[in-house]
Structure 1
């Protein structure tokens, strides 16, 4: 009988240890992003890169999760947030396309600027009248914000749009006079400008966006996930951690 009891105790201890190991394994979160250097992008080896993704993983780990990252075109990313196949997006809050489908963290991670860029030989335009009949370069897969979306659809302005897939290509098009203006985000444009060795461009600020962690309402546990990520951010901030993504 004592041997039987001893064996049973060993079995129970083994099960308890296995259960403890299982519960300590971080929960995997499906994180979607699109190519938006220097904040989020895919490296040459296929791994996710960028300051916002790095901070996202740091917060996830601190909160007891880990991220599984996948790059998407903008439209597919938004569709994933609307159906719950993408659980978390490090992105810009207040997207009209996501209204009613997402929850946003209370902490702002940073801010980005949407701007109108133009060459030194182009005078600053009066907006929106100064764009009438002109050629505007846009980035494929990006969505824009009011009033930009209204300008693009306004038949009275009659804008001609040209889309390209990268910020570098967009700047090259602008330099080659294949467009009069470029509507793009300042940080990616600045990185592309430096890589091309170009002089600083003239620009007009159009919109300032707050960067936040955004979770799909249709993914189980999204409210709990954001609450824990907010707590992780605040705990690290209180401990003096550098949480900048610039």
Structure 2
């Protein structure tokens, strides 16, 4: 090796490292939007066989206008909350929960809303609060916690007979056959099922109003500035597929 060879080699390696670092720094971070893989919005599936989530249609113009590079993936609800808490995912649109307050920024105003309804035959007593379910026969759909209500339903002290089933369609079929008196379901999926297969003399009561907020992990770079930008953009967007949020 000629004189000065080691020095030139080290200098070359340093330049290569610097160039690689600059290139990495120039690449924008990809924001990951994770959403529950079981939809409260619709029973319809997209071309990939996944729930046709209308919030994805909100995300497209939201991130485009914000200049954010992003990707999306569906996760089971429990894993989604776990990943948000430990920083394994960046963003979601969810019903506000205190379990995310420490790890995430939550938008001040909701961006979408739905209703949790109790369906019943019209000759049965209306249910306007969870206490009205005590001692009743209820149909629920596997995979939903109903905003924590499932724990109340499964509590033996409440004497609620829980008849679980795998889909919205089978749930309404059970209600039609009289397998139970009351059915818990979300407005969007329920309306779709009843549009395809109307059931006579079935009414519903609104048990709860659920508003979905933007949720951004605090570990994301300049999280507060990005959340402010996303909130401003979201306030101007109107996307088909879900009802307007409650702005009380």
How many angstroms does 1:64 deviate by?
0.8
Q: Could you report, residue by residue, the CA deviation over 1:150-173 in whole angstroms, capped at 9, with x for unpaired residues?
A: 742544321122333332222222
Q: Does residue 139 in structure 1 map to residue 110 in structure 2?
A: no
Counterpart in 2 of 1:6? none
Counterpart in 1 of 2:111? 109
Q: Does residue 122 in structure 1 map to residue 127 in structure 2?
A: no
Instruction: Give the distance between the partners of 2:66 and 2:192, measured in 1 at CA.
Output: 32
RMSD between aligned alpha carbons?
3.2
Match 1:86 to one of 86, 89, 92 = 89
The runs of 5 or more residues in structure 2 that have no matched partner are 1-21, 243-248
Counterpart in 1 of 2:162? 161
Q: For residues 226 and 163 of structure 1, do their structure 2 counterparts lie closer, same or farther at Cα, with a shift above 3 Å needed?
A: farther
Q: Could you report, residue by residue, the CA deviation over 1:128-159 in whole angstroms, capped at 9, with x for unpaired residues?
A: 5643332212232222346x457425443211
Q: Could you report, residue by residue, the CA deviation over 1:75-131 in whole angstroms, capped at 9, with x for unpaired residues?
A: 1221121122221112222x2443423221223213211122112353325755643
SS in 2 for 1:106: coil
CA contact (8 A) 2:40 2:186 kept: no
Q: Does residue 36 in structure 1 map to residue 46 in structure 2?
A: no
Normalized against structure 1, the TM-score is what?
Answer: 0.73
Counterpart in 1 of 2:9? none
SS in 1 for 2:184: strand
Instruction: Give the distance between the partners of 1:129 and 1:48, measured in 2 at CA.
Output: 32
Aligned length: 219
Match 1:45 to one of 44, 48, 53 = 48
The runs of 5 or more residues in structure 1 that have no matched partner are 1-18
Matches for 1:148-187 after TM superposition, within 5 Å: 148=149, 151-187=152-188
Instruction: Give the distance between the partners of 2:128 and 2:108, measured in 1 at CA.
Output: 36
How many angstroms does 1:39 deviate by?
6.0
CA contact (8 A) 1:38 1:191 kept: no
Normalized against structure 2, the TM-score is what?
Answer: 0.72
Match 1:73 to one of 68, 72, 76 = 76
How many angstroms does 1:61 deviate by?
0.9
Q: For residues 200 and 73 of structure 1, do their structure 2 counterparts lie closer, same or farther at Cα, with a shift above 3 Å needed?
A: farther
SS in 1 for 2:173: helix
Instruction: Give the distance between the partners of 1:226 and 1:40, measured in 2 at CA.
Output: 30
CA contact (8 A) 2:176 2:199 kept: no
How many angstroms does 1:180 deviate by?
2.0
How many angstroms does 1:38 deviate by?
3.8
